[in-house]
Amino acid sequence: MSALVEARGVHKAFGHVEVLKGIDLDVEAGEVVCLLGPSGSGKTTFLRCINSLERIDGGRIRVDGELVGLEERGGRLHRLTDKRIAQQRRDIGMVFQRFNLFPHMSALENVVEAPVRVRGVAKAEANRRAVELLERVGLADRAHNYPAQLSGGQQQRVAIARALAMQPKLMLFDEPTSALDPELVGEVLEVMRELAADGTTMVVVTHEVAFARDVADQVVFMDGGVVVERGTPAEVIGDPREERTRTFLARMR
């Protein structure tokens, strides 16, 4: 069986600057993969490529067997229409550094919105599921609060519930705790730990080395647009082979 995410030789440039220089990645269903590496190494760009938020210049990414952002026609690759790309994105949840909640909607309304509008789920059913999801992220009592009435950690937990509401095959997290005050980081990581324990397939860009060590099945260390090393947390974090990985980890302590 093939992996849920299969990236091969992914290249991406912004202008003349090559940011991804041939990235390969396999993520099995149920697996948690953490992408670590210094700032500017291409982690966020790669994550965004998995969700077609960036268009790749070379290589291929498949999610659940389907090419992302591209289709093969007449032996050549063509970019999908924006409509098809939007359809593919429905199956991939993404949580950003900034929570990006709709400010004029309550926590509950934020979670209900996409299933109703995009998937055509009945309002009552979407509401029932949203209440469950808010419970799951520990915010049942905050359902009717607006984002401005919530702490950053609470807003990020709503953002996680909102992504889960679409019942995605895959969850992508782009430095989900790096915009938070230090005392709020733990509550978000705790929700992510629970998702991982429930078998959610997750790719997480993070600087939280302890989280990666405890939760990841696979750690991928990137630098300068390439994968420097990958393996289990015990290998990459506990006993790194490469000097660049060791230097990075030493700085994170």
What does the binding site for ligand ADP look like in residue numbers (CB under 6 A)? 14, 19, 37, 39-45
Question: What is the per-residue DSSP string for 122-185?
Answer: -HHHHHHHHHHHHHHTT-GGGTT--GGGS-HHHHHHHHHHHHHTT--SEEEEESTTTTS-HHHH
**Rounded least distance, CB 33 to ligand ADP, Å:** 15
Pick the closest to residue 204 from 194, 190, 219 (CA basis): 219
Cα end-to-end distance, the chain, whole Å: 38
Asked whether 144 and 158 are in contact (CB, 8 A), the reply is no
**Rounded least distance, CB 72 to ligand ADP, Å:** 27
Cβ distance to ligand ADP smaller for residue 55 or 241: 55
Cβ distance to ligand ADP smaller for residue 40 or 199: 40
**Rounded least distance, CB 13 to ligand ADP, Å:** 9
**Rounded least distance, CB 45 to ligand ADP, Å:** 3
Asked whether 247 and 223 are in contact (CB, 8 A), the reply is no
Cβ distance to ligand ADP smaller for residue 158 or 220: 220
CA gap 177, 187 in Å, rounded: 10
Cβ distance to ligand ADP smaller for residue 41 or 201: 41
**Rounded least distance, CB 137 to ligand ADP, Å:** 25
Pick the closest to residue 213 from 178, 161, 169, 249 (CA basis): 249
Cβ distance to ligand ADP smaller for residue 34 or 134: 34
**Rounded least distance, CB 146 to ligand ADP, Å:** 30
Cβ distance to ligand ADP smaller for residue 115 or 211: 211
Asked whether 187 and 155 are in contact (CB, 8 A), the reply is no
**Rounded least distance, CB 14 to ligand ADP, Å:** 3
Cβ distance to ligand ADP smaller for residue 234 or 252: 252
Asked whether 25 and 220 are in contact (CB, 8 A), the reply is yes
Cα→Cα distances 205→8, 86, 138, 201, 245, Å: 19, 22, 23, 14, 16
User: For residue 100, what are its two tokens?
Assistant: 């990006």
Tokens 């979670």: give the residue. 111
